């Protein structure tokens, strides 16, 4: 660490000074290939995760669940839909009847 701030020899090539470990510098094409292989691997993993196994017995209900579902559907069918406008008008009429002196 004592030579960190010292003057450098101008005859030393820049690549040797920057990479003292001796590892060769990889080309841009190599990095593109590595990135492409990682992207392909990620896509294949996503394809496997998107496939879900559907069991033939998934739609079969227990007797209790079937009864509860039938009861819920029966009660939902009884309710008549109201528009929001109709609900607002009904509330105004109710409040008007209460405020009326007649």
What does the pLDDT read at residue 6? 75
Question: Could you report the per-residue pLDDT of 6-30, keeping only the tens digit for each?
Answer: 777 777 766 544 555 556 667 888 8
53-69 in b/e burial notation, b at 16+ Cβ within 10 A?
Answer: eeeeeeeeeeeeeeeee
Residue 85: half-sphere exposure toward Cβ, Cα within 13 Å: 0
What does the pLDDT read at residue 17? 44
What is the rounded distance in angstroms from the CA atom of residue 94 to the CA atom of residue 96?
5
Question: Could you report the per-residue pLDDT of 29-81, keeping only the tens digit for each?
Answer: 888 999 999 999 888 877 776 667 777 777 788 889 889 988 988 887 777 76
pTM of the model: 0.28
* Domain range annotation of the chain: 61-97
């Amino acid at each position: 660490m004592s030579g960190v701030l010292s003057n450098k020899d101008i005859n030393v090539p820049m690549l040797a000074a920057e990479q003292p470990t001796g590892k060769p510098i990889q080309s841009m094409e190599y990095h593109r290939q590595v990135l492409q292989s990682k992207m392909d691997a990620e896509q294949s993993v996503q394809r496997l995760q998107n496939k879900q196994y559907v069991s033939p017995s998934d739609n079969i209900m227990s007797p209790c669940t079937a009864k509860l579902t039938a009861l819920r559907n029966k009660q939902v069918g009884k309710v008549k839909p109201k528009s929001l406008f109709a609900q607002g008008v009904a509330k105004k009429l109710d409040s008007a009847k209460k405020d009326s002196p007649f």
